[in-house]
């Protein structure tokens, strides 16, 4: 039996990476899916692959009107929205404070916080009336950088800490009608891009030297998850039946980073 049979989800940044994996998984679980995606080519790819099972809106998560348009088109196509997944994000590729160019600092901040913080906030605002009708739920994509240092530079890390605060505040404000949770993936090979202000708009994680070795070496489980490996956590949180008592919670899907201090001190394999 499918976990999300008859449900409707709206996913931002659904054209690639974890977002694309979520579109595919939610469809497999019986849901219909709306997507807000910035890239023209990714919009075309989604429409060609999934036909009328997915409605795709080209737009920018940092614009409230684009979020509202995505909500309206999803409801027009499928009649309702049960789950909003604020997933779109950009990275800063570990640029440290000393290395942040002064002349681009303000613009870099605006671009990273615009997508990573304003995006989920605007999406939640736009979808709120529909979720109140369905007693639905919200799931935000966080990151291991929402909990620990060295998951990015100061801009990315601060933005993901802000998303943690947003989850907790909205879980409090929107209860008891709407549940709000998050998933915090660890290092995952995707085409996550950086801000134009740092010249990183074409940068991808897979192009970083020795990235798989770096990702696996810092986790006790020594894993490099695929985008698909994170999707089960989202599915569970999206299911009111299977997580009806869960709100304000963030699932850390990061290979055990929370215990890495002990692991690094002990050294070697535990088992």
**Span 4-45, pLDDT tens digits:** 999 999 999 999 999 999 999 999 999 999 999 999 999 999
What is the structure's pLDDT at 22?
Answer: 98
Query: 261 or 214, which is more confident?
Result: 214
Residue 63 has pLDDT above 70, yes or no: yes
Of 193 and 36, the structure prediction assigns the larger pLDDT to 36
Cross-strand pairs, 17 = none
Comparing 193 with 79, the larger pLDDT belongs to 79
Cα of 10 vs its chain's centroid, Å: 12
For residue 176, is the peptide bond before it cis, meaning its omega torsion is within 30 degrees of 0?
yes
Q: Are 6 and 30 in contact (CB under 8 A)?
A: yes
Catalytic residue among 122, 156, 172, 234: 156
Virtual torsion, Cα 213, 218, 221, 225, nearest 10 deg:
-60
Q: Which of 44, 66, 175, 78 is nearest to 115 (CA)?
A: 66
Where does the pLDDT of residue 265 fall: very low under 50, low under 70, confident under 90, or very high at 90 and above? very low
Going by C-beta distance under 8 Å and a sequence separation of 6 or more, which residues neighbour residue 63?
Answer: 122
Q: What is the pLDDT of residues 210-226, one digit of tens each?
A: 777 777 788 888 888 89
Q: Which architecture, in CATH terms, is 8-255?
A: 3-Layer(aba) Sandwich (3.40)
**Integer CA distances (angstroms), 42 to 75, 202, 245, in order:** 21, 15, 36
The whole-angstrom separation of Cα 54 and Cα 122 is: 21
Query: Bridge partners of 32?
Result: 8
Residue 164 pairs with which residues in a beta bridge?
A: none
How far lies 252's CA from each of 49, 75, 178, 257, 270, in Å?
31, 31, 21, 9, 21
Question: pLDDT-based confidence at 271, cuts 50/70/90?
Answer: low
Does the predicted TM-score (pTM) go above 0.75? yes
Could you report the per-residue pLDDT of 244-253, keeping only the tens digit for each? 999 999 999 9
pLDDT at residue 170, rounded to an integer: 98
Of residues 191 and 129, more confidence is placed in 129
Total residues found in the chain within this entry? 271
The reply to whether 93 belongs to the active site is no
Instruction: Classify 28 as helix, strand or coil.
Output: helix
């Amino acid at each position: 039996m499918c976990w999300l049979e008859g449900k409707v989800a709206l996913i931002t940044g659904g054209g690639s990476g974890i977002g694309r994996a979520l579109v595919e998984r939610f469809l497999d679980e019986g849901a219909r899916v709306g997507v807000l995606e910035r890239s023209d080519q990714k919009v075309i790819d989604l429409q060609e692959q999934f036909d009328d099972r997915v409605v795709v809106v080209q737009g920018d998560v940092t614009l409230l009107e684009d979020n509202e348009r995505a909500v309206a088109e999803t409801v027009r196509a499928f009649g309702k929205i049960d789950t909003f997944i604020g997933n779109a994000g950009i990275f800063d590729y570990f640029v440290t404070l000393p290395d942040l160019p002064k002349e681009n600092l303000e613009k870099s901040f605006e671009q990273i916080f615009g997508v990573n913080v304003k995006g989920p906030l605007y999406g939640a605002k736009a979808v709120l009336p529909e979720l109140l009708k369905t007693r639905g739920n919200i799931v935000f994509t966080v990151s291991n950088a929402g909990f620990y240092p060295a998951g990015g530079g100061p801009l990315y890390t601060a933005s993901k800490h802000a998303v943690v605060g947003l989850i907790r505040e909205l879980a409090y404000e929107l209860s008891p009608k709407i549940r709000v949770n998050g998933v915090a993936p660890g290092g995952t090979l995707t085409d996550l891009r950086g801000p134009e202000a740092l010249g990183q708009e074409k940068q991808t994680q897979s192009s970083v030297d020795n990235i798989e070795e770096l990702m696996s070496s810092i986790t006790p489980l020594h894993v490099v998850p695929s985008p698909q490996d994170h999707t089960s956590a989202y599915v569970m949180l999206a299911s009111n039946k299977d997580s009806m008592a869960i709100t304000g919670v963030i699932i850390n899907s990061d290979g055990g980073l929370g215990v890495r201090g002990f692991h690094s001190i002990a050294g070697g394999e535990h088992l």
